[in-house]
Amino acid sequence: QGSTARLQCTVKGSPELHTTWFLNNNELSAGGRYVISLKDGVSTLEVQDLTLSDSGNYTCEVLNESGCESCSTKVTNEAGQQKCDAVLTIQEPARILDKAASISVTAGDSATLQCTISGSPELKVKWFKDGKEMINHRHTMSFDSSIATLVVERCSVEDSGDYVCVASSEAGRDQCSSSVSVKGWFSLVFIHLIAACFSYSGSQ
């Protein structure tokens, strides 16, 4: 009793970070015997003139716009310095920055959709067509350098539809949708024939 205990929590995350200390789930305010500071990524709680009532479970809560994390340690009134070291990473929810554009392709060609995704690892990406997850062997999916790519090989008219990219992490998820229109050879030939007929009629 009568000594000083110093608790430290190493924090990491996007600014601006705010830290709050608790004793047995009761928030502590700076002043009196409590000195609270945050400097160079280290949040420090100093409890001066320790008494028996200072025994308990101390929790450091770190908060920013993306969410919060906490760590805790038990403190006793033995002489000397008590220290709690924890690296807290504030998780950024998955977010799609650039959405895949809707495209139109000819039957037999490939269709490529791409999204730019940000967020804390580990990010997971899934693609859906008309509400069903895509697992067909003709579909190539990749996620590299924040770019999620879906390639549909040898498109047929049946590949036309709405495609959804879903990005997720432990902190949250985001999604975007786009459409793919596949024109068959028959429809293209028919369109060209109509155009040729109008052109011929106009020349008469």
Q: Is residue 152 part of a domain?
A: yes
Rounded Cα gap, residues 51 and 155, in angstroms? 75
Query: What pLDDT was estimated at residue 65?
Result: 63
CATH number of domain containing 115: 2.60.40.10
Query: What pLDDT was estimated at residue 188?
Result: 47
Q: Is residue 128 part of a domain?
A: yes
Within 8 A by CB and 6+ apart from 104, the residues are 180, 181, 182, 183
Helix (H) or strand (E) holding 195: helix 185-203
**β-bridge partners, 173:** 168
Asked if 13 and 19 count as a contact pair (C-beta separation under 8 A), the reply is no
Residue 16: which domain range? 5-89
3-state SS, 123-174, equals CEEEEEECCEECCCCCEEEEEECCEEEEEECCCCHHHCEEEEEEEEECCEEE
Q: Both tokens of residue 22?
A: 């608790």
Query: What pLDDT was estimated at residue 164?
Result: 97
Within 8 A by CB and 6+ apart from 92, the residues are 14, 66, 118, 119, 120, 169, 171
Q: Is residue 48 part of a domain?
A: yes
Q: Is residue 187 part of a domain?
A: no
Query: What pLDDT was estimated at residue 41?
Result: 81
pTM to 2 decimals?
0.53
Amino acid in the structure at residue 159: D
Q: Is residue 199 part of a domain?
A: no
Final residue in a domain of this structure, among 65, 89, 113:
89
Asked if 80 and 3 count as a contact pair (C-beta separation under 8 A), the reply is yes
* C-alpha 100: how far from chain center: 17
Q: Is residue 202 part of a domain?
A: no
Rg (CA), the chain: 30
The reply to whether 69 and 106 lie within a common domain is no
The reply to whether 142 and 118 lie within a common domain is yes
Asked if 165 and 125 count as a contact pair (C-beta separation under 8 A), the reply is yes
3-state SS, 69-125, equals EEEEEEECCCCCCCCCCCCEECCCCCEEEECCCCEEEECCCCEEEEEEEECCCCCEE
Give backbone dihedrals phi and psi of 2, rounded to 5 degrees, phi first.
Answer: 85, -10
Give backbone dihedrals phi and psi of 104, rounded to 5 degrees, phi first.
Answer: -130, 130
Q: What is the pLDDT along the chain (204 residues), one digit of tens a residue?
A: 567 788 888 877 666 778 888 888 889 898 999 999 988 888 888 888 877 677 788 888 877 666 555 555 544 444 333 334 333 334 678 999 999 999 999 999 999 999 999 987 789 999 999 899 998 777 899 999 999 999 999 999 999 999 999 999 887 899 999 999 998 765 544 444 555 555 545 555
